[in-house]
A = this chain, B = another copy of it.
């Protein structure tokens, strides 16, 4: 028997399980959580869990997929106007991390399924490739573009992870601009376009 995802009872149960799961992970860590724990926290029967998810891993994936879709949507909504105002896919990333801080803590911990992080990195790498192409040049020394793209994406994602895990020592908006600037200044050099210069972002008050 397969459940109807549009049934309000199903939606309610799933939402309850997901939210309970996140609460428990933050409280006691992933590994020590049992299915019973999740069901109790969600005030549902243990059997109900198995109607919806095969195991804990599947529930986690469901949570993180939802998270990723939120980010993707936020990124998509960037208008040409907002780009001119200094916003970028990195702004969307940092804002989203602040909005969904709890989930990102989980995602960035060793418990976050690698697939979701991988998707984010890939997404950032594609953005980097775009930026590379707009320079209209080939990289110095024939360095393969995939290397440059993943070098860049790793720097961006890793910096965001570092920022969150170290208690957000700088404002999100500043981080987004610095990350972009560090990236672009490196890329311009890499692409033999050091003649184009960018002003570094001002340090916030």
Contacts and interface: CB of A to CB of B under 8 A. Distances in A.
Contacts of A139: 200
B186 A185 contact: yes
Nearest to A141: B200
Q: Tell me the interface secondary structure of chain A in the complex.
A: helix
Interface string A161-205: 110000001100001001101100111111000100001111100
Contacts of A112: 110
B111 A201 contact: no
Given A155-B151, A155-B154, A185 B178 contact: no
Given A141-B203, A150-B158, 19 more contacts: A110-B112, A110-B114, A121-B158, A121-B162, A140-B200, A141-B200, A141-B201, A142-B203, A144-B203, A147-B175, A150-B159, A154-B156, A154-B161, A158-B158, A182-B190, A185-B189, A185-B190, A186-B190, A194-B194
